[in-house]
């Protein structure tokens, strides 16, 4: 699984970090950081994070 974040769209709302804290985190500066190749066991959480993103900046690929 690959997680892609469109940083041109991302507004650092942090909803993804709440939905999938193992995959997405907010750094000390309030900017999004993420695991681009998380373990398959994180798929449900990553997909939930993509769904809750208010600007739909997250793409999950196989």
pTM to 2 decimals?
Answer: 0.93
Residue 57 has a pLDDT of: 98
Q: How far apart, in Å, are the Cα atoms of 44 and each of 8, 12, 17, 21?
A: 25, 21, 14, 12
Contact 3, 33 (CB under 8 A): no
Residue 61 has a pLDDT of: 97
pLDDT digits (tens, 9 = 90+) for 15-45: 999 999 999 999 999 999 999 999 999 999 9
pLDDT digits (tens, 9 = 90+) for 46-59: 999 999 999 999 99
Q: How many CA atoms lie within 13 A of 19 on its CB side?
A: 18
d(CA 43, CA 23): 10
Residue 14 has a pLDDT of: 96
Enclosing H/E stretch for 1: none
Residue 51 has a pLDDT of: 98
């Amino acid at each position: 699984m690959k997680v892609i974040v469109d940083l041109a769209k991302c507004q650092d709302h942090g909803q993804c970090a709440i939905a999938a804290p193992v995959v997405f985190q907010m750094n000390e500066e309030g900017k999004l950081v993420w695991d681009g190749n998380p373990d398959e066991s994180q798929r449900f959480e990553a997909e939930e994070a993509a769904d809750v993103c208010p600007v739909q900046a997250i793409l999950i690929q196989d």
